[in-house]
Amino acid sequence: MTGLKPNTRAVITGASTGIGRAIAVQLAKEYSGKMILNARGKDDLNRAADLVAKAGGEAHCIAGDVAEKGMAAKLVEACKEKFGGIDILVNNAGLARSGPMPSLSVDDWRYVFEVNFFASLEMVYGVLPEFMAQGHGKIVNVASVAGKVSFPGSVCYASSKFAMTGLSEGMAAEFAGKVDVITVCPGWVRTDFFKRNKLAEDPTIIAKENTVRGWMMRNVLSISSEQASNDIVKAMAKGGSHEIVLTAPGIMVERMAALFPNLTFYLSSLVPADRGKIRRNVGSETESKSTDGTSV
């Protein structure tokens, strides 16, 4: 399939901050993009729309939980009504429930899968009739390196992302030549995902340290949202379906898992299951239910 064209029309979930916002701004700047932006945070979403307008694009905001019943259809219909159709779907919204498996309930798992997988699946079904009828369209599924390798303490989150990568790989093959599928597997990206989900190892905070660890995080271990967006938009512009793994550690972990699965399993088994959580009070207000970012 061909690449991106001027005035491209898109629906982007998790668009208020991080990778989603960066993609929106880049599409506006480089392609005068017209888009529907979705996220839970209304104020952040409006600020993202302002950035899109300043970059030369047009954005309409629909705030709400992407997993809410009927939200997928609402977003797709809004794009068709306001812009006359849809060319790109970016499934970027995501959340995490971390910690040892016994600390998670089945309801936790259901909610993570509702946001990280089933909401994206519903969005795909929402755009497929349009894409198939017009003979083109691009679906960007922001999964994770955790969708390639599962670690203790991230089993729930990783399982939802494994489902996402499986969905993407299968769709890319099934719809080859008709719909482009870009599967994105980021490692550490400096977004507010970690803060919103109460995760202890926040690359954004670490990168601000005036230490060797801070330098490594800024220059080697993580990338900015804008760097991630640049790689994603380049993949869309290239045409065709692609899988891209972001960050040097992410690429290393993904390659090691493919080449040395037994070694990867052994190293994974050494990771403490409770390493990354600042606090978790099941059923309390300290839990994050943000769908505005994406992950490691």
The catalytically annotated residue of 31, 125, 157, 266 is: 157
Under a CB-based contact definition with an 8 Å cutoff, are residues 87 and 80 in contact? Answer: no
125 is catalytic: no
CA angle 47, 141, 143 (to 5 degrees): 95
Instruction: Tell which residue, 37, 82, 88, has the closest CA to residue 291.
Output: 37
Q: Which two tokens stand for residue 270?
A: 């050494």
If 0-12 CB within 10 Å is exposed, 13-18 middle and 19+ buried, where does residue 270 land? Answer: exposed
Could you tell me if 216 and 224 are in contact, meaning their C-beta atoms sit under 8 angstroms apart? Answer: no
- Alpha-carbon distances of 209 from 188, 203, 218, 252, 277, rounded to whole Å: 16, 10, 9, 24, 20
Which residues are catalytically annotated?
157
